[in-house]
Each structure stands twice: as structure tokens, then as C-alpha cells.
């Protein structure tokens, strides 16, 4: 007596899904590639449905795949707006009742435009009892979430990642070493204190840099002791 479990009559499984590349620049496309395995008992033609951030984007038919055979696919997708995007591939096949192996997702990063966020104000030599801070402004056309962005000095500042804060087009945000200035900032202006620390801006001169979540240098400024910086 056998206790083995027979394969379903029609059953397709996604075995691989990737983006090449997984991070692209603004207005660039990427290639979604993957493999499908027919693990059922009969040949059939699956449909590959692609969703971006939960919304239908496109579909593809790779043709009939014989039982125990595999097939690959490549789809050029994009361009997309800057930020993170979830790309979901779903196999839809008539008669396939095993949906456990039908889906896979990958994350796409689209870099932000240079100077979409710019440095508007900074204080490297604050008065006693006040923290160093920078003020950023969104001069782009759309709101930007600063989750994963970094404000650094001449060092990389890998721990200086910002928390989530949406800045509308034309809006401002204050990034400071501590919360001392919170009460003096307008209510509608986000005030962020990076959990990993704030760069120590040298009084003798330094560089301030703004990176998006994909390590793109968005804006930078270098100051010297010749600058008259007064809080």
C-alpha cells in the first residue's frame, strides 16, 4: 500500500523571480525575469499576471508547457515614479487549484532626481544649549517620503537613516541632533531626530550631503570658516 501523494492534474509553480537591475534611475526600465515549472500531470498554458503596488500592470502568455517541463520569461517594465515598488507575479491557469506556489514578489527601487530635495538652511555652530540642525525643502513636483534617506557630513553616515516623513512639493523638514528645537518649529513642518545619530558638523568647515534610500547623492554643500553662520 502506497502513501505517496500524487501531483495535481494541472499545477504550475513559479521557481524564480528577479529584476535586472533591481535599482534603476528615473525614467529607466528594468527586466522582470523568472522561471515557471509544470509540476502537474498534464500540459497547459499558464497566464503570468504582473501587479505593481497591488494594481494590475500587464500579463504574458509563455505558451503551452509540457508536464515536468519548465519555461522562462522576460518582461520589460517601467518606467515608474521614484521610490520603492512591489512587483508581484501571479500564475493563473485554468484547472490549477493549488495556489500556494503561484505567486512571488520582488522589490524595485527607483532613484530620485538630483536636487529633488535640497539643503535650505543649516547650523553647524549653534548657540549654547541648542542642537545642530539642517532644514531641507522638497522642490520636486510630488510628495516624497524620507524613509531611508540620510543626511551626512563628509563621512558616509550609514546609521543616519531618517524615519518616515512625507514632505509635500514645496514643503520643509527639519533634521536635528535632538528635540530641543521642536517647540520652535511650525506644527506642519516635520521634525526628525535620526535614531542612529546626527552628523557632527565641524566648526572649521565640512560637507553636508543628502542621499536617497538607494545611495543616490541628491544634494551637497561644502562650507568653510569664511562663511558667517550665526544662529
Provide the CATH number for the domain around residue 191.
Answer: 2.60.40.1260
Q: Which domain holds residue 94?
A: 12-110
- Predicted local distance difference test score (pLDDT) of residue 229: 59
Cβ(132)–Cβ(201) below 8 Å: yes
- Predicted local distance difference test score (pLDDT) of residue 157: 65
pLDDT at 18 over 60: yes
- Predicted local distance difference test score (pLDDT) of residue 156: 67
Last residue of a domain, one of 93, 110, 127: 110
Record the pTM. 0.88
Examine residue 229 and state whether it is found in any structural domain, yes or no.
no
Q: Looking at the structure, do residues 220 and 124 belong to the same domain, yes or no?
A: yes
The sign of the torsion formed by the CA atoms of 173, 145, 187, 184 equals: negative
Last residue of a domain, one of 110, 143, 175: 110
* Overall number of domains in the chain: 2
Dump pLDDT digits (tens) for 49-75. Answer: 999 999 999 999 999 999 999 999 999
- Predicted local distance difference test score (pLDDT) of residue 230: 54
Amino acid at each position: 500500500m502506497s502513501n505517496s501523494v500524487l501531483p495535481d492534474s494541472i499545477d504550475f509553480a513559479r521557481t524564480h523571480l528577479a529584476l535586472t537591475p533591481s535599482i534603476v534611475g528615473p525614467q529607466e526600465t528594468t527586466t522582470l525575469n523568472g522561471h515557471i515549472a509544470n509540476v502537474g500531470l498534464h500540459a497547459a498554458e499558464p497566464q503570468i499576471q504582473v501587479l505593481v503596488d497591488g494594481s494590475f500592470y500587464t500579463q504574458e502568455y509563455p505558451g503551452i508547457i509540457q508536464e515536468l517541463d519548465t519555461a522562462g520569461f522576460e518582461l520589460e517594465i517601467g518606467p515608474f515614479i521614484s521610490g520603492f515598488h512591489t512587483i508581484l507575479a501571479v500564475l493563473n491557469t485554468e484547472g490549477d487549484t493549488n495556489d500556494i506556489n503561484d505567486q512571488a514578489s520582488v522589490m524595485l527601487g527607483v532613484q530620485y532626481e538630483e536636487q529633488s530635495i535640497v539643503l535650505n538652511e543649516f547650523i553647524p555652530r549653534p548657540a549654547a544649549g541648542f542642537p545642530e540642525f539642517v532644514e531641507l525643502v522638497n522642490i520636486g513636483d510630488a510628495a516624497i517620503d524620507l524613509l531611508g534617506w540620510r543626511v551626512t557630513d563628509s563621512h558616509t553616515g550609514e546609521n543616519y537613516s531618517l524615519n518616515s516623513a512625507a514632505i509635500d512639493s514645496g514643503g520643509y523638514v527639519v533634521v536635528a541632533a535632538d528635540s530641543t528645537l521642536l517647540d520652535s518649529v511650525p506644527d506642519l513642518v516635520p521634525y526628525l531626530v535620526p535614531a542612529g545619530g546626527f552628523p557632527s558638523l565641524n566648526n572649521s568647515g565640512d560637507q553636508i550631503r543628502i542621499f536617497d534610500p538607494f545611495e543616490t547623492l541628491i544634494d551637497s554643500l561644502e562650507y568653510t570658516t569664511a562663511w558667517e553662520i550665526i544662529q
